[in-house]
């Protein structure tokens, strides 16, 4: 079949709109843009055309289709007993990402509705598509324009990948602005019920109507034999080729969980702030953890991207269920076949950093007195040098066999001779360590029974480890105080102490990058440790209050 390509970004191109509308009138299949995802459209009143949708997608025929209309006035053409709630929602949210389940009129074929006496109605927020529908004069039945079981299409190029040569036309109306399908609400029941979360948050529906219940299929699989009342309820959609595991819980906790469980060949879907922790993996950023609109726009791109790779599995962070998070989580969980793991373990991770002589030890001892597990990142790195195969392999590839002794152990002195006279090699070493140490630390965090964990890391920020800490603390002190401490601690000259301080980042750097600053300029160790204990208690209480909120 020859597929015609339309590039339509404005309703002023009347000729192209007329040609696209003619495809629908003649019973053809036309991929159309919407604000949610691209749809595979056909005349919803033409049973043969509708059958061709199912054939092109490979879609089960008991999966209902949604009718798309250009405005509210078309509702009564295809629906009967339209309740006031429908007009109320349409006035507030149409055109937009909302589908309303209503009683159908006899003119709407059962093939379109999956055998149901109800039909989903939607007015898309895309001017070109509304113009095409109006010009065609028919309601357009349009599921997402992907092959069934594949992630939904959010660009015309995605549609081309799945449908070129199978359908009559593709309208390129630009990338979708919402990125997840429409919200579906059933208005034939009392109280109204959410059947599928989507681009319009549940909170908005409740704000407009009051009580709105949630169908159990939103959060779990439907039972065998149950009939879906709306698209996307029953069948496993949005599935990439590799198996998916979705990890719920707080963003930092779920990032730690991914670090612990993801293998070397795993693909990662994570929030933007954690991407650097997964260097060496194929990573698709979902958006910042607090930006659900961006996450909605990227979720299907993320799932689809991995089909072009050889990853053996995919691990995905999941947002909370507030706002658009309910829809994003629903799509990810369906992609995973509801294989979901909860990362929340109640642990608090506090990262401690600062320059030499600043007095980090006071805070670390305060953490230990609280029963915390304190992890020295430098010590963990040296422990990894004994038997961590991925790290050892990376070091061998970067520096060769010269850094290994005859017994196979790593010669740290040999590494030092290479990197301390070559800045590029030093940067390469740092990059290798920063790639591998987060995994080892996350595994140790998971293994400990301690509820509080302290990370002692001079490169807490540069390594990306700060991102998985619930709080980060910069320990600072005046330079003169630091000089005296270093001289006394290491038995070195003042000149050498100052040169060591000068070689490190200034206090302003740590101050700007961390959540808290502890100024350790107290005259005695006893006073410093008392102040540190009070400070740590304050941080822990703050974190617990945030969790309770």
Q: Residue 240: pLDDT band by 50, 70, 90 thresholds?
A: confident
**pLDDT band of 233, cuts 50, 70, 90:** low
Q: Is the pLDDT of residue 243 over 90?
A: yes
Domain(s) labelled CATH 3.90.870.10 in the chain stretch across: 4-216
* Per-residue model confidence (pLDDT) at position 58: 85
Predicted local distance difference test score (pLDDT) of residue 38? 97
Q: What's the confidence (pLDDT) of residue 83? A: 98
Residue 518 has pLDDT above 80, yes or no: yes
Structure confidence at residue 236 as a pLDDT band (50, 70, 90): low
**What's the mean per-residue pLDDT of the chain?**
94
Residues 188-199 as b/e (b if ≥16 CB within 10 A, e otherwise) read beeebbbbbbbb
pLDDT at 234 over 60: no
- Asked if residue 246 lies in contact with residue 333, where contact means CB atoms within 8 angstroms, the answer is yes
Has residue 222 got a pLDDT over 60? yes
Output the pLDDT for position 404: 96
Q: How far, rounded to the nearest angstrom, does the alpha carbon of residue 479 sit from its chain's CA centroid?
A: 43
Helix axes 14-25, 127-136, angle to 10 degrees: 50
Q: Where does the pLDDT of residue 235 fall: very low under 50, low under 70, confident under 90, or very high at 90 and above?
A: low
pLDDT band at 232 (very low <50, low <70, confident <90, very high): low
The SS3 call for residue 109 is coil
> In terms of pLDDT, which residue wins out, 60 or 42?
42
* Secondary structure element (H or E) that encloses residue 79, with its range: strand 79-80
244-342 CATH? 3.40.50.11030
Kindly tell me if the per-residue pLDDT of 221 is higher than 80: no
Please check whether residue 277 is in contact with residue 259, taking contact to mean a CB–CB distance below 8 angstroms. yes
Does residue 184 surpass a pLDDT of 60? yes
Q: What is the mean pLDDT of residues 223-232?
A: 69
* pLDDT beyond 70 at 109: yes
Superfamily of the domain at 4-216: DHBP synthase (3.90.870.10)
Handedness of CA 39, 43, 44, 50 (dihedral sign): negative
Residue 488 CB contacts under 8 Å (≥ 6 apart), including other chains: none
Where in the chain are all domains bearing CATH 3.40.50.300?
348-372+450-548
Under the banding of pLDDT at 50, 70 and 90, the label for residue 224 is low
What is the distance, to the nearest Å, from the Cα of residue 445 to the centroid of all Cα atoms in its chain?
A: 23
> At residue 49, does pLDDT exceed 70?
yes
Distance of CA 338 to the CA centre of its chain: 16
Q: Quick one: pLDDT at residue 425?
A: 94
Q: Is the pLDDT of residue 16 over 70?
A: yes
CATH of domain 348-372+450-548: 3.40.50.300
Q: Which pLDDT tens digit goes with each residue over 384-429?
A: 999 999 999 999 999 999 999 999 999 999 999 999 889 999 999 9
Q: What pLDDT does 103 receive?
A: 98
Cis preceding-peptide flag for 191 (omega within 30 of 0): yes
Residue 237 has what pLDDT? 59
Confidence of residue 151 (pLDDT cuts 50, 70, 90): confident
Least confident of 145-149, 167-171, 185-189, 493-497: 145-149
DSSP string for residues in 351-413:
EEE--TTS-HHHHHHHHHHTT-EEEEHHHHHHHHHHH-HHHHHHHHHHH-GGGB-TTS-B-HH
| Intervals of CATH 3.40.50.11030 along the chain | 244-342
Q: Is the pLDDT of residue 149 over 80?
A: no
Chain segment 315-340, per-residue pLDDT in tens: 999 999 999 999 999 999 989 999 99
- Other C-beta atoms closer than 10 Å to the C-beta of 201 total 20
- At 284 the three-state DSSP class reads strand
Residue 545: Cβ-neighbour burial (10 angstroms; 0-12, 13-18, 19+): exposed
């Amino acid at each position: 079949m020859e597929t015609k390509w339309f590039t339509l970004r404005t309703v002023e191109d009347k000729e192209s709109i007329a040609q696209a509308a003619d495809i629908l009138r003649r019973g053809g299949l036309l991929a159309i843009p919407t604000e949610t995802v691209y749809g595979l459209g056909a005349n919803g009143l033409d049973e043969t055309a509708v059958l061709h949708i199912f054939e092109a997608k490979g879609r089960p025929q008991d999966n209902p289709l949604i009718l798309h209309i250009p405005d509210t006035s078309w509702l009564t053409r295809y629906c009967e007993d339209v309740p006031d709630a429908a007009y109320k929602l349409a006035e507030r949210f149409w055109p937009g990402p909302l589908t309303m389940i209503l009683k159908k009129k006899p003119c709407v074929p059962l093939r379109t509705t999956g055998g149901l006496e109800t039909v989903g109605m939607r007015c898309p927020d895309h001017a070109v598509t509304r113009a095409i529908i109006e010009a065609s004069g028919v309601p357009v039945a349009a599921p997402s324009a992907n092959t069934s079981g594949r992630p939904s299409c959010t660009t015309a190029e995605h549609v081309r990948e799945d449908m070129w040569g199978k359908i009559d036309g593709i309208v390129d109306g630009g990338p979708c602005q919402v990125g997840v399908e429409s919200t579906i609400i059933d208005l034939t029941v009392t109280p109204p019920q959410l059947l599928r979360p989507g681009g319009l948050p549940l909170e908005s529906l409740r704000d407009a109507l009051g009580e709105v219940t949630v169908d159990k299929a939103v959060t779990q699989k439907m039972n065998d034999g149950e009939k879906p009342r709306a698209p996307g309820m029953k069948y496993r959609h949005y599935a990439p080729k590799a198996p998916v595991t979705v990890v719920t819980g707080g963003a930092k906790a779920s990032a730690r969980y991914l670090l612990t469980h993801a293998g070397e060949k795993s693909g990662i879907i994570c929030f933007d702030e954690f991407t650097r922790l997964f260097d060496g993996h194929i990573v698709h950023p979902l958006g910042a953890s607090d930006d659900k609109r961006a996450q909605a726009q990227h979720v299907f791109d993320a799932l689809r991207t991995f089909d072009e790779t050889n990853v053996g599995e995919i691990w995905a962070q999941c947002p909370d269920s507030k706002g658009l998070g309910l829809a994003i989580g629903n799509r990810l969980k369906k992609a995973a076949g509801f294989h979901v793991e909860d990362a929340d373990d109640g642990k608090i991770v506090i990262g401690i950093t600062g320059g030499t002589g600043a007095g980090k030890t006071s805070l670390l001892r305060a953490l230990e007195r609280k029963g915390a597990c304190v992890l020295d990142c430098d010590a963990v790195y040296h422990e990894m040098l004994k038997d961590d195969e991925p790290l050892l392999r990376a070091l061998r590839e970067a520096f060769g066999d010269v850094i290994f002794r005859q017994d196979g152990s790593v010669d740290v002195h040999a590494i030092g001779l290479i990197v301390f006279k070559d800045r590029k090699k030093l940067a390469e070493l740092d990059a290798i360590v920063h790639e591998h140490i987060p995994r080892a630390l996350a595994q140790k965090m998971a293994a400990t029974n301690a509820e509080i964990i302290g990370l002692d890391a001079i490169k807490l920020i540069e390594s990306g480890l700060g991102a998985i800490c619930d709080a980060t603390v910069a320990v600072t002190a005046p330079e003169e105080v630091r000089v005296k401490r270093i001289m006394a601690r290491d038995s070195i000259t003042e000149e050498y102490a100052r040169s060591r301080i000068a070689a490190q980042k200034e206090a302003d750097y740590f101050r700007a990058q961390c959540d808290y600053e502890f100024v350790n300029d107290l005259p005695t160790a006893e006073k410093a440790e008392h102040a540190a204990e009070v400070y740590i208690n304050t941080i822990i209480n703050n974190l617990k209050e945030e969790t309770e909120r």
